[in-house]
Structure 1
Amino acid sequence: MTETSGDLDRQSLRFLWLYALASAGGAVAYVPFLTILLPVRMSELSGGDDVAPLAYAAFAGAVIASLANIAFGWLSDRSGNRKAWIATGLVLCSLLLVSVQATHSLAELIGVIVVWQLALNLMLAPLAAWAGDMVPDRQKGLLGGLLAFSPAAGAAAGALVTWPGLAGADTRLELVALLTIAMVLPVLVTGYDRPMPHLMTRSSELSDAPRPSRGLIGRMWIARLLVQISEAALFAYLLYWFRSIDPSVTDSDTARVFSIVLVAAVPLSLLTGRWSDRTDRPILPLASAAGLSAIGLLVMALSDTLALAMTGYVLFGLVAAVFLALHSAQTLRVLPRPETRGRDLGLFNLTNTTPSLIMPLLTLGLVPGFGFDGLWLVLAGLALMACLLLATARRAA
């Protein structure tokens, strides 16, 4: 049975699923470490006084990650070989992760974290750009839906490696490294990547083809930044806010709600992504998700009971997860130059790292005087701005 021309213009489902597994492996590489294992190790080395060192490590990590993602994306553009960069980064970040257990001082630990961030982005930057090289626009929605597995996998890995009795403090790091390798390696070794030469045609050869406008690219960047600020604030302060409404809420309750939302977002992202592929309307789901996230934040701001608060958060969490997953894939559609795809994705990655620097300032400026209600109202306004930016965008120049 031969492949039709329509089949040749579509990437194999095998590659898409293995790529989604690798992307989830990228999340597994850093989510359990940064959210659970690093704070524990830092507390051990500092004797309990770990707030300031953790803040310094987070700041340094965000800066290094931002610069490294741009640099390694650009280098993978120049080399034309994404797989080699991904494989090298996979090996180095796994070795450095395991080496954390051998640190004996905070200075050593922060030094390892900085180098680990370099290695991590050596893997993540070309991995993100590789999807743009291999997945045509008609499957970008499906790709976005599959990328929704990544945050869920990161959260699940954190729960797995900290399962009572499964692994000791040191072997947890080794377990994270092994999980990462097991998830990323298959697409590098056995993933059949059907060539898509039209996705690699240089921009100088596309002078007659309609290209996305700079205005759309800018709107996509700003919209993601606005939604990511809200996501970062909820990630950091969700437990504190729930407890301000009902002091009986535990960290386990919050983690369970958080996990349920991430898991439920996967099928919703897949359905929405497939719909956007079939109708060729890539921006509408993004604008709709941003608008619904604003409604969720508004419900949170007006909540005076735990049930209403959780309803608002579940709405926000679901649609924000859909937005971020689909946005990651549709960004590949609007970037104008295939020859600088990795570098440009690194610039878009600033929308993931910058909120961790903005969010604390926003929180300190609002919560003491206006409470969490005031913060949620401001964040609802930012999400609404993201919705309007995308809803009024033109797809091409």
Structure 2
Amino acid sequence: MASNETPTTAPSTHEWSGTTSDEQQPRLPIRLVIGLAIGAFCWIVAYLGAVGVLLPARIAEIAPADKAAVVALNSTISMIVAAIANILIGAGSDLTRSRFGRRTPWIWAGAVGSLLSLTVLGHVQSVPALVTTWAVYQVFLNSIIAPLLGTLSDRVSPQFRGTAASGYALGNGLGTGLGQVIGAQFLGNTATGLLVLGGLTVLVAPATSWFFRESSSVDMPKRPFTKDMVLDHFVFARHNARDYYLALLGKFFVILAKFAIQGYVLYILTDYMLLGEDDSSRYISIISLIIMVAGIVMAFVAGPVADRLKLIKLPVIVSSLLIAVGVLVPFFSATPMMMVLYAVIAGTGLGMFNAVDQALNIAVLPDPDTAAKDLGILNLANTGGQIAGPLVAAAAISAFGYHMLFVVASAAALVATLLFALIRSIR
């Protein structure tokens, strides 16, 4: 590849090894960090606006008598599709050779496809059409996410990965905070709302193209189609993967702890703390605001500090401990201020974790040549944790009452802490 990038962003193809070294990137790649933040914002603001507000509204319009069953069916199918898409698209991105680079073509395809899928979703009139369209959207959505994470691995040197991961987390946090707010403005016109969300998603393509300025990958080494190539690129990592799987399991338990509580905040306030509807609504707003602000603050602080101290594992361990403490606080008193304290402590931990998690993931990758695929598999811990958290919470509440919910969530975060501590390859 005849690289048109400066030494601060990426090496030339002739010395390309799948990653960028500290020597090749002596200064923080600010353009890349901004591009990652914008990319994360564009996909998650639309996704959360859709999945949290407008998708349920469309289901209620199409099948009002069977809403719960349709939601369950749609969630199951979309989870399976997303899991497969993560692996296949990540591998496809790793193997792509084009004059536009490895990641950029996939981001463009994902952006345009997401816009089209969400637009169609606003007009479907049957459950099969809705489920199919949402599944197609999952494919295109992951065509954005996997290449974005691959870019973070490819183009950012180890000394700046904490800061770059914080940039991604900042965009993620802002999008998380605004997604459902934007979606809620269109409850009376879901088709227009989904079109607006699709429009926000499609912006990821020109924005990242301009900020990333990815060079041609045509001259990068190509792997022949063999059994080993298929095993390396299309299945779970098989070699040098001990720390990688510890990070995957640790992430799973952190997300489980998070969603065990967040998925039941309303019921904790009404059934455990016995608040009325108005008070519950007020405290939910307070808790959500605290967690969002904590996430944004940590995005600015945690990554740069981790880079300066040259520590990645330690901040992840500390964040897991904060989550373990925060989710246990309501165990000691059934008062709403305990939930506010939970939001402060666990929210700080979650913000710190989100800020440095991707830097840890990249540091333990088994093979830089399969970065997007392996990061896509790590992202499955998010999906698994989001599903397992409410299920574990429901089992704990049914068997022992709400007190045990906080104990189980804290235990999950402590298990994550132990798993992260066992990682050997980084500090």
Please, what TM-score do these two structures have when normalized by structure 2?
Answer: 0.83
Q: Is the 8 A contact 1:11 1:194 kept in 2?
A: no
Structure 1 position 377, deviation (Å): 0.3
Which of 172, 177, 184 in structure 2 is aligned with 1:162? 184
Deviations 1:23-80 (A, max 9, x none): 1112123111111111111011112430111011111111111111111000111114
Match status 1:233 vs 2:255: no
In structure 2, the residue matched to 1:27 is: 44
In structure 1, the residue matched to 2:165 is: 144
- CA distance, structure 2, for counterparts of residue 354 and residue 261 of structure 1: 22
Which of 293, 299, 317 in structure 1 is aligned with 2:329? 299
Which of 275, 280, 293 in structure 2 is aligned with 1:247? 275
Match status 1:283 vs 2:304: no
- CA distance, structure 1, for counterparts of residue 329 and residue 244 of structure 2: 30
- CA distance, structure 2, for counterparts of residue 129 and residue 223 of structure 1: 21
Structure 1 position 213, deviation (Å): 5.7
Deviations 1:284-328 (A, max 9, x none): 000000011101111122232111222123311221232133112
In structure 2, the residue matched to 1:269 is: 299
- CA distance, structure 1, for counterparts of residue 7 and residue 122 of structure 2: 51
Report 1:169-248 matches (<5 A): 169-192=190-213, 214-244=241-271, 245-248=273-276
- CA distance, structure 1, for counterparts of residue 110 and residue 143 of structure 2: 5
Structure 1 position 265, deviation (Å): 1.5
Structure 1 position 3, deviation (Å): 8.0
- CA distance, structure 2, for counterparts of residue 3 and residue 134 of structure 1: 11
- CA distance, structure 2, for counterparts of residue 7 and residue 340 of structure 1: 21
Q: Which runs of 5+ in 1 are unaligned?
A: 203-211
Deviations 1:172-212 (A, max 9, x none): 1111111222345312134445999xxx9x9xxxxxxxxx9
CA spacing shift, 1:3–1:84, aligned 2, 3 Å: closer
2:244 aligned partner, one-letter code: I
In structure 1, the residue matched to 2:228 is: none
CA spacing shift, 1:280–1:396, aligned 2, 3 Å: closer
Q: Is the 8 A contact 2:261 2:409 kept in 1?
A: no
In structure 2, the residue matched to 1:41 is: 58
Larger CA deviation: 59-68 vs 212-221: 212-221
Larger CA deviation: 4-13 vs 246-255: 4-13
Match status 1:133 vs 2:150: no
Which of 85, 93, 104 in structure 1 is aligned with 2:125? 104
1:101 aligned partner, one-letter code: G
Runs of 4+ in 1 over 6 A off after TM superposition: 2-7
- Percent identity between the two aligned chains: 26
CA spacing shift, 1:368–1:8, aligned 2, 3 Å: closer
- CA distance, structure 2, for counterparts of residue 338 and residue 29 of structure 1: 30
Structure 1 position 346, deviation (Å): 1.8
1:55 aligned partner, one-letter code: A
1:33 aligned partner, one-letter code: A
- CA distance, structure 2, for counterparts of residue 146 and residue 396 of structure 1: 21
Which of 135, 153, 163 in structure 1 is aligned with 2:175? 153
- CA distance, structure 2, for counterparts of residue 114 and residue 164 of structure 1: 22
- CA distance, structure 2, for counterparts of residue 322 and residue 331 of structure 1: 14
Q: Is the 8 A contact 1:144 1:330 kept in 2?
A: no
2:189 aligned partner, one-letter code: G
Which of 310, 325, 334 in structure 1 is aligned with 2:340? 310
Structure whose residues are more often helix by fraction: 1
Q: Is the 8 A contact 1:12 1:194 kept in 2?
A: no
In structure 2, the residue matched to 1:206 is: none
CA RMSD of aligned residues (A): 2.8
Please, what TM-score do these two structures have when normalized by structure 1?
Answer: 0.89
Structure 1 position 232, deviation (Å): 2.1
Structure 1 position 96, deviation (Å): 0.4
Number of aligned residues: 384
1:307 aligned partner, one-letter code: M
- CA distance, structure 2, for counterparts of residue 256 and residue 108 of structure 1: 38
Which of 364, 380, 395 in structure 2 is aligned with 1:350? 380
